[in-house]
Structure 1
Amino acid sequence: MERASPPPFRAARRRWLAGAGGLALAAALGGCQPPLPPLRIGSLVFPGYELLFLAREAGWLDPAQVRLIELRSNTDTLRALASGQLEGAQLTLDEVLLGRARGIRLRIVHVLDISDGADAVIARPGLRQPGQLRGRRIGVEDSAGGVILLDALLKAQRLRVEDVVKVPMTLDRSVEMLTSGAVDAVVTAEPWASRLEAQGAVRVFDSRAIPGRIVDVLALRAEVLAARAPAVQHLVDAHTRAWWLWGREPAPDQLPARLMAPRLQVPAAQVPALFRGLRLPARDEVRAMLAPDGQISRTAGELLALMAERGMPTSPWQWDDTVDARFVSAPWGPPA
């Protein structure tokens, strides 16, 4: 006996069910995954952090993969990292150590710059010698970075912390705090240091006295590195391309200075001067710095000792849990 064919509507239903099952299987296998959101990278206005913004303006930073978030201070950046509002940030090495001590699992993937005068103690006119700061009010951000420079100045003058009056502030208030008379000096950085000097304030100490101690790095959450490696590689490569462009065209009338001037809030002609206090390492040098026995490990040990001495929270340095050098070890090429 021949088996009767199913009614047309039953055959159609079977075809629909088969198709739906295939779609469900494809979705389960990842064929219909929604696109991942861009990595949110925190940053404040600082010349050493500007190359990522230059990469964005040059079109080398894909907004679908990375979004740069501008904040007022690195204190705000650490808060945003702690609350899960950022996947990574441009920070000083000591701030990464502070964040890790507070439970944020940050890993360093790149070295951005080494301060060689960009961080400074700027005093009001009339205070021309660092020894004159005894008993004075000094504005300083409540972070490890401010502590490092102030501590170095005090030790050089054989002063104690109790010999000055620390006034909490954020870097972006440097000009306001000093010019208003709220403080006698500020622990600050570029571009605020140059603005204050242009108004007659005096540089009494800077990071040239502590070479290699203040280092800026790019750090991301450990879980992000595991889940979003291609986006992190894109981020590191974009920074390297911007470093290449700035080294190739550093003159004030060339494109990089013109692109960076609006964010740094200075004319393009003044942009190169803001970088004079920074050393921007090449990618090969960065790899050496991030090695287990490299400069980052040595500097981290010194910073942790200082932080502990000043009663700041610390956690032990573990290179394999704090550094991920694979992204600066990957090959890259200048843009075509």
Structure 2
Amino acid sequence: MLRPLRALLPLFAALLVPLASGCERGPRYTPPVNVVTTPWLGNAPLFMARERGLFGPTEVRIVELSTDFDAWRAIIERRAELATGTLFDVMHGIDRGADIRIVMALDFSNGADGVVAREGIPDLASLRGKRIGVEKSTLTHFVLLRALERVGLTEADVQLEHLTLEESKLALEEGRIDAASLWEPYLSQAAAPPRRKLFTSAEIPGEIIDVLVARKDVLEERPDEVARIIRGFHAATLSLDQDPEKTAEVAAGFLGTRSEELRLALVNIDLLDLGQNEKLFDATAAEGSIWKAYARSAAFMEAHRMLRQRARGGDEVIDREPLRRAASLPR
């Protein structure tokens, strides 16, 4: 005899109780942490840390995007939790609506950014009236302006061509522009003879810092995972000193360059570990702190009208707590 459906409902309910209880006791799913980056050799330790499992139990996905605009859009749309970039990139991200905090300084550029010119242009002063490839309102724009300032020129004295890094490099090689503002590894590639570097960040020490940022809500909800990523970058940075050839070999594959080329380019940046970060994040330091560097960058961007609104103060953007948490993690 068939039972009415209503009569079977209590039985189904009884069967579902242990199933529900079992679900509650099972492991809770933790989504991976997505880190968006752009093609920059200072990100090599991130790839190295992932390859060697230095992030501990935290699953990290590193997504390389071609432009900073795409990276900040991923952050704003909550498709990524962390991102890497310069202080200038960070201010642009905030200006576009990203609610982020700086949690670690990754490296100083010490010659890894610069301006390259074609044959026949011997110095910066010779750029007057010339066509220069640059990605406007980004770090390459800043580097170009700092270079022009050295010889009393402004961007009104040259013809700016708004191009991505890849487009600038190709246009310079094909002779469609006279010079380009680039970073490594594009910088050295474009500077192959007869072209030459006219200016590099080695001439403005301490002004270009790459940092790691995290969304504010991620810092509140997943602080230990952010700390593990900081610790992983620190460990990978140390491995560069201990085994530079192997590290360069692994990282080169992800960055799309040859390991020998990467090793040579790494000479032009200073990778920063936890100890150096503790000093940089000290707000009481007279000079050489990330607070001072952030203030200088903000003043420059406002003076050159690179932002739509006033830059936020360092106390609203720089967060030292993730570094403290990373330092306290068990080894």
TM interval, shorter chain, is 0.7 to 0.9
Identify if the C-alpha distance between structure 1 residues 334 and 186 changes in structure 2 by more than 3 Å, giving closer, same or farther: farther
Q: How far is the alpha carbon of 1:59 from its aligned partner?
A: 2.6
Are residues 1:51 and 2:42 paired?
no
Are residues 1:73 and 2:72 paired?
no
Structure 1 stretch displaced more, 295-304 or 32-41: 32-41
Deviations 1:141-168 (A, max 9, x none): 1233123211111211101221011111
Percent of residue pairs identical: 30
Are residues 1:121 and 2:115 paired?
yes
Correspondence list, 1:1-336, <5 A: 31=25, 34-61=28-55, 65-250=59-244, 254-294=245-285, 295-313=289-307, 314-329=309-324, 330-331=326-327
The alignment covers a number of residue pairs equal to 319
- The one-letter code of the counterpart of 2:323 is V
Q: Aligned partners of 2:22, 2:222: CA distance in 1, in Å? A: 22
Q: Aligned partners of 1:144, 1:248: CA distance in 2, in Å? A: 34
Q: How far is the alpha carbon of 1:116 from its aligned partner?
A: 0.8
Q: Aligned partners of 2:314, 2:126: CA distance in 1, in Å? A: 41
Q: Is the 8 A contact 2:114 2:144 kept in 1?
A: no
Q: Aligned partners of 1:92, 1:303: CA distance in 2, in Å? A: 10
Q: Aligned partners of 2:312, 2:283: CA distance in 1, in Å? A: 11
Q: How far is the alpha carbon of 1:307 from its aligned partner?
A: 1.0
Q: How far is the alpha carbon of 1:15 from its aligned partner?
A: 9.5
- The one-letter code of the counterpart of 2:264 is A
Q: Aligned partners of 2:133, 2:272: CA distance in 1, in Å? A: 30
Identify if the C-alpha distance between structure 1 residues 101 and 291 changes in structure 2 by more than 3 Å, giving closer, same or farther: farther
Identify if the C-alpha distance between structure 1 residues 199 and 37 changes in structure 2 by more than 3 Å, giving closer, same or farther: farther
Deviations 1:120-142 (A, max 9, x none): 10111111201110001111112
TM-score by length of structure 1 reads 0.86
| Runs of 5+ unmatched residues, structure 1 | 1-12
Identify if the C-alpha distance between structure 1 residues 197 and 144 changes in structure 2 by more than 3 Å, giving closer, same or farther: closer
Identify if the C-alpha distance between structure 1 residues 220 and 132 changes in structure 2 by more than 3 Å, giving closer, same or farther: same
Q: Aligned partners of 1:208, 1:263: CA distance in 2, in Å? A: 26
TM-score by length of structure 2 reads 0.87
Structure 1 stretch displaced more, 287-296 or 30-39: 30-39
Where 2:191 maps in the other structure, the secondary structure is helix
Q: Aligned partners of 1:332, 1:201: CA distance in 2, in Å? A: 49
Structure 1 stretch displaced more, 132-141 or 32-41: 32-41
Q: Which protein has the larger Cα radius of gyration, Structure 1 or Structure 2?
A: 1
Q: Aligned partners of 1:257, 1:282: CA distance in 2, in Å? A: 18
Structure 2 match to 1:3: none
Q: Aligned partners of 1:119, 1:86: CA distance in 2, in Å? A: 26
Structure 1 stretch displaced more, 86-95 or 139-148: 139-148
Aligned CA RMSD, in angstroms, stands at: 2.6
Where 2:54 maps in the other structure, the secondary structure is coil
Q: How far is the alpha carbon of 1:197 from its aligned partner?
A: 1.9
Where 2:295 maps in the other structure, the secondary structure is helix
Deviations 1:36-75 (A, max 9, x none): 2111110122110111011112232468621101111223
- The one-letter code of the counterpart of 2:248 is A
Where 1:121 maps in the other structure, the secondary structure is strand
Q: Is the 8 A contact 1:178 1:186 kept in 2?
A: yes
Q: How far is the alpha carbon of 1:101 from its aligned partner?
A: 2.0
- The one-letter code of the counterpart of 2:208 is I
